[in-house]
Amino acid sequence: MLSLASDYQEGAHPAIMERLVSTNLLRTPGYGTDEFCESAREKIRAACGCPGAAVWFLSGGTQTNAVVTGALLQPWQGVIAADTGHISAHEAGAIEFTGHKVLAIPHYAGKLRAEDVRRFCETFFADENWDHMVAPGMVYISQPTEYGTLYSLSELTELSRVCRDFGLLLYADGARLAYALACPENDVSLPDLARLCDAFYIGGTKCGALFGEAVVMRDPKLMPRFFTIMKQRGALLAKGRIPGLMFDTLFTDGLYLSLGRSAVDIADRMRAVLEDAGCAPALDGFDSPTNQVFAIFSDGQLEYLKNRVGYSFWERRGNRTVVRFAASWATTEDNLREFTEIIGGMPR
């Protein structure tokens, strides 16, 4: 059965596997102090145009979001996020477990609007009782968003400006960043992210690594003693070299920047197939331009698809269901062909 349920179904990009094997019996010191990590850090700093940045490797997205948020916020602060943001909805309360509130505001195509953040802050500080309330300390966005949409450079610039006006830190979750960077309509580069955000992470798990996310922080002083905090939160790997080597490989010869191209291209063609079948666009007035593909099906159609192609449940809408397919660096032309055939044979 064809599975397009997610972008974390396979192992790692073959270039990574080869290098893991060829270096397997080398001995390196632990906890990210090895040469692979150091090399990866240098390459990431270069790719981000940010030679002074701190770069840290963690294991997964929820872990990274929780550890970074917990390290950046003061005890009396919360983090502003879209109500559809991953930290708002799908991390089982990981942020709250660190003692902080997620201040959810309505999304617009999965994104926060700078003006909404500005209004939130203005209202907050105009409230005479604000010292009885959770102060906004940080803004969380994701690029691309949970809906696969992208912040434009001008949107990100405006959001960054609002954050600086109100003394908020700006943090971007880049779980699928490779698919943003590879998208033709994207105009936000790694150096833009490094310049406009206070911290962001470059996703590995969904972008070619076995696991791992690389946090980039322009000003290392924002997270003092982060090594110890990682240890305390269970996020410090003994064999830190493994994510180090994986990111070193991803940032060699531009692999990370190119990795998502075929996925975005295949996703575009999947969207066209679905639109022909009358099952897309499935979202409210916008669509994903990246590797995530949304479609809406009747119960009969889902019944047909069930044993033919793997998908992710998104939400129930009336008597129909929105589902998500995902293309990845590992999705093939054959997969697309099979998908096209399956959708072509689906009952209308």
Per-residue mark of binding to its own copies, 26-45 (x: CB under 8 A): xxxxx---------------
Among 51, 74, 284, 334, binds its own copies (CB under 8 A): 74
Stretch that binds its own copies, among 47-55, 105-113, 129-137, 283-291 (CB under 8 A): 129-137
Binding-residue total with its own copies (CB under 8 A): 82
Find, among 259, 260, 288, the residue nearest to 274 by Cα.
288
DSSP structural state of residue 102: E
Tokens of 235: 């996020």
Q: Is 46 in the site for its own copies (CB under 8 A)?
A: no
The answer to the question of residue 249 lying near its own copies (CB under 8 A) is: no
Residue-by-residue DSSP string for 290-307: SSEEEEEEEHHHHHHHTT
Range 274-280, long-range pairs (CB < 8 A, 24+ positions):
274/343, 277/343, 277/344, 277/346, 277/348, 278/348, 279/343
Q: Does 300 bind its own copies (CB under 8 A)?
A: no
Choose which of 15, 20, 277, 342 interacts with its own copies (CB under 8 A): 20
Both tokens of 243, joined, read 């994510």
Of the candidate residues 50, 82, 216, 236, the single one contacting its own copies (CB under 8 A): 236
Calpha distance 37→125 (Å, rounded): 43
Q: Which of 48, 80, 81, 94 is in the footprint of its own copies by CB under 8 A?
A: 94
Q: Is 11 in the site for its own copies (CB under 8 A)?
A: yes
Q: Binding residue for its own copies (CB under 8 A) from 119, 164, 225, 317? A: 225
Give the three-class secondary structure for 335. Answer: helix
Residue 134 in the binding site for its own copies (CB under 8 A): yes
Q: Which residue type, as a one-letter code, is found at position 258?
A: S
**Selected binder of its own copies within 41, 45, 100, 218 (CB under 8 A):** 100
Should residue 276 be labelled a site residue for its own copies when binding is judged by CB under 8 A?
no
Is 232 a binding residue for its own copies by CB under 8 A? The answer is yes
Place of tokens 């596997």: 17
* Minimum CB distance to its own copies, residue 331 (Å): 10
Task: Please report which helix (H) or strand (E) contains residue 163, including its range.
Answer: helix 153-165
Q: Nearer Cβ to its own copies, position 227 or 286?
A: 227
With contact defined as beta carbons under 8 Å apart, do 178 and 259 qualify? yes
Say whether residue 340 binds its own copies (CB under 8 A).
Answer: no
3-state DSSP call for residue 80?
A: strand
Does 315 bind its own copies (CB under 8 A)? Our answer is: yes
Binding its own copies (rule: CB under 8 A), the pick from 40, 55, 66, 196 is 66
CA atoms within 13 A on the CB side of 296: 13
Rounded alpha-carbon distances, angstroms, from residue 279 to 106, 263, 297, 341: 26, 20, 6, 15
Tell me the window of 2-10, 138-146, 151-159, 177-185 that interacts with its own copies (CB under 8 A). 2-10
Whichever of 188 and 215 has its CB closer to its own copies, that residue is 215
The reply to whether 284 sits near its own copies by the rule CB under 8 A is no
Quote the CA–CA distance of 152 and 174 in Å, as a whole number: 15
Q: Is residue 92 near its own copies by the rule CB under 8 A?
A: yes
Binding status of residue 78 toward its own copies by CB under 8 A: yes
Interior/surface letters 92-106, b for 16+ CB within 10 angstroms, e for the rest: eebbeeeebbbbbbe
- Which residue from 89, 153, 255, 257 is in contact with its own copies, where contact means CB under 8 A? 89
Distance in angstroms (rounded) separating the CA atoms of residues 340 and 337: 5
To its own copies, the closest distance from the beta carbon of 256 in angstroms equals: 18
Q: How far is the CB of 48 from its own copies (least distance, A)?
A: 24
Q: Which of 149, 205, 262, 301 binds its own copies (CB under 8 A)?
A: 205
Neighbours of 316 (CB within 10 A): 9
Tell whether residue 306 is a contact of its own copies (CB under 8 A): no
C-alpha span between 283 and 281 (Å, rounded): 6
